[in-house]
Amino acid sequence: MTFRARHLLGIEQLQPDEIRTLLDLADSYVDLNRRTIKRTDALAGMTQINMFFEASTRTQSSFEIAGKRLGADVMNMAVSQSSVKKGETLIDTALTLNAMHPDLLVVRHQNSGAVALLAEKVNCAVLNAGDGRHEHPTQALLDALTIRRRKGRLQRLTVAICGDIAHSRVARSNLLLLGKMENRIRLIGPPTLMPAGVGEFGCEIYDDMKAGLEGADVVMMLRLQKERMDGGFIPSEREYFYRYGLDAEKLAHAKPDAIVMHPGPMNRGVEIDGTLADDINRSVIQEQVEMGVAVRMAAMDLLARNLKAERGRAAAGVMV
Q: Which residues bind ligand CP (CB under 6 A)?
A: 56-59, 130, 139, 263-265
- Residue closer to ligand CP by CB (options 187, 220) is 220
Strand order in the sheet with 47-52: 73-77, 47-52, 104-109, 125-131
- Residue closer to ligand CP by CB (options 21, 132) is 132
Closest approach, Cβ 264 to ligand CP, in A, equals 5
Closest approach, Cβ 62 to ligand CP, in A, equals 8
- Residue closer to ligand CP by CB (options 57, 96) is 57
- Residue closer to ligand CP by CB (options 169, 282) is 169
- Residue closer to ligand CP by CB (options 28, 111) is 111
Closest approach, Cβ 52 to ligand CP, in A, equals 8
Contact 97, 48 (CB under 8 A): no
- Residue closer to ligand CP by CB (options 189, 263) is 263
Burial track 200-219 (b if 16+ CB lie within 10 A, e otherwise) = ebebebbbebeebbeebbbb
Closest approach, Cβ 290 to ligand CP, in A, equals 13
End-to-end CA distance of the chain: 19
Closest approach, Cβ 23 to ligand CP, in A, equals 18
- Residue closer to ligand CP by CB (options 202, 265) is 265
Closest approach, Cβ 266 to ligand CP, in A, equals 10
Closest approach, Cβ 112 to ligand CP, in A, equals 15
- Residue closer to ligand CP by CB (options 59, 267) is 59
Closest approach, Cβ 50 to ligand CP, in A, equals 11
Alpha-carbon distance 72 to 298, whole Å? 13
